[in-house]
Structure 1
Amino acid sequence: MQSSIKTLQIIHLALVAGVTMAYIIVGRLHTLNFLKLPEMNNTALLLMLGAAAAVLLSHVLYKQQLRQISKTASFQEQFNVYQTATIMRLSVLEGVAFLILFLQKDLLIVGLILIVYMLLLRPSEVRMKNDLENNRFI
C-alpha cells in the first residue's frame, strides 16, 4: 500500500510543481505585482466565479467517483478508483489555474490560492482511509 500512495504522491507533486513553475516563469511572481487588487471587469469576475466553481466541481467529481467503489471491492480496486478520483480532482483545479494564468494575469492571486488548495489535497494513507470509509455510508 505504501508504494501505491508514494506513486500517487509523486503524481500530485508533479501536477502542483508544473503549475507552480508556470506561475513563476510566465506570471513573473518576482515582481510582486500579483498582490495588487485587479480591476474588476467581466472577464475577471467570470474567472473568479470559475475558480470557485472549479473547487466545488472538483469536490463533487471526487465524491461521485468514490461512490462507484463497491463494498466488496479489493484494496487494489478501491485504490485504483481513489487514484482516478484524486487525479481528476487535481486536474480540474490545475486547468482553472492555467486559464487564470493565461487569460487574466491580474488574477494571479486567485490562481495561487488554487495552487495552495492543491497542495493541501496531498494524498496520504490516512486521507485515503478516511475518504474511503466516509464515502461508504453516503
Structure 2
Amino acid sequence: MEQQLKVFKIIHLALIAGLILAYYFLGDLGNLTELTFPTVNSKNYIYLFIPIAAFIVSNLLFKHFVSKIDNNLSVQQKLVSYQTASIIRWAILEGAAFLILLIYPEFLLFGILLIIYLALLIPTEARIKRDLKQFD
C-alpha cells in the first residue's frame, strides 16, 4: 500500500503544481491587487456556479464510485478503484479552477479556494481507510 500511496501523492501533487503554475503565470498572481473579492451581479453570477457545482459534483461522484467498490476485493484492487474515484474528483475540481481562470479571471479568488480545497484532499493512508470503511 505504501508504494501505491506514493504514486497517489505524486499524481495529487502534480495536479496542484500545474494549477498553481497556471494561476501564477496566467492569473498574474504576482500582482496581489487581483485578489480582491469580486462584485457579484446579475451578469456574472452564473460564473459563481462553476466552483459550487464542481465542489458538489466532485464529492457526489467520488462517494458514488467509492460506494460501488466491492468489499470482497483485495486491498490492492480496492486501491485501484479508490484511486480512479479520487482522480475523477480531482479532475473536476482542477477543470473548474481552469475554467474560472480562463473564462472569467475576475473570480480568481474562487479558483484559488478550489485549489486550496484540492490541496486539502491529499491522499493519506488514514483518509483512504476511513473512506473505504465508510461505505462498507
Same fold (TM over 0.5): yes
Residues in 1 aligned to 2:100 and 2:89: alpha-carbon distance in whole angstroms = 17
Listed as ranges, the gaps of 5+ residues in structure 1 are: none
Matched-pair identity in %:
39
The two structures, once aligned, show a CA RMSD in angstroms of 1.1
Q: Secondary structure at the match of 1:97?
A: helix
Normalised TM-score (structure 1) = 0.94
Q: Secondary structure at the match of 2:44?
A: helix
Measured against aligned partners, the alpha-carbon deviations of 1:55-103 in whole angstroms (never above 9, x if no partner) come to: 0100000010011111211111100010001100000000000000001
Q: Which amino acid aligns with 1:36?
A: T
Q: CA deviation at 1:42?
A: 4.6
1:54 corresponds to: 54
2:7 corresponds to: 7
- Asked whether the equivalents of residues 50 and 100 of structure 2 are also in contact (C-alpha less than 8 Å), the reply is no
Q: Which range is displaced more, 102-111 or 45-54?
A: 45-54
Q: CA deviation at 1:104?
A: 0.9
Matched, 1:124 2:120: no
Q: Which amino acid aligns with 2:112?
A: L
Residues in 2 aligned to 1:35 and 1:28: alpha-carbon distance in whole angstroms = 10
CA 1:87 to 1:43, structure 2 compared with 1: closer, same or farther past 3 Å?
farther
Matched, 1:99 2:121: no
Residues in 2 aligned to 1:19 and 1:42: alpha-carbon distance in whole angstroms = 28
Residues in 1 aligned to 2:58 and 2:5: alpha-carbon distance in whole angstroms = 20
1:72 corresponds to: 72
Q: Secondary structure at the match of 2:30?
A: helix
Count how many residue pairs are aligned between Structure 1 and Structure 2: 136
Residues in 2 aligned to 1:105 and 1:42: alpha-carbon distance in whole angstroms = 17
Residues in 1 aligned to 2:23 and 2:42: alpha-carbon distance in whole angstroms = 23
Return structure 1 stretches of 4+ with deviation > 4 angstroms: none
Q: CA deviation at 1:43?
A: 5.5
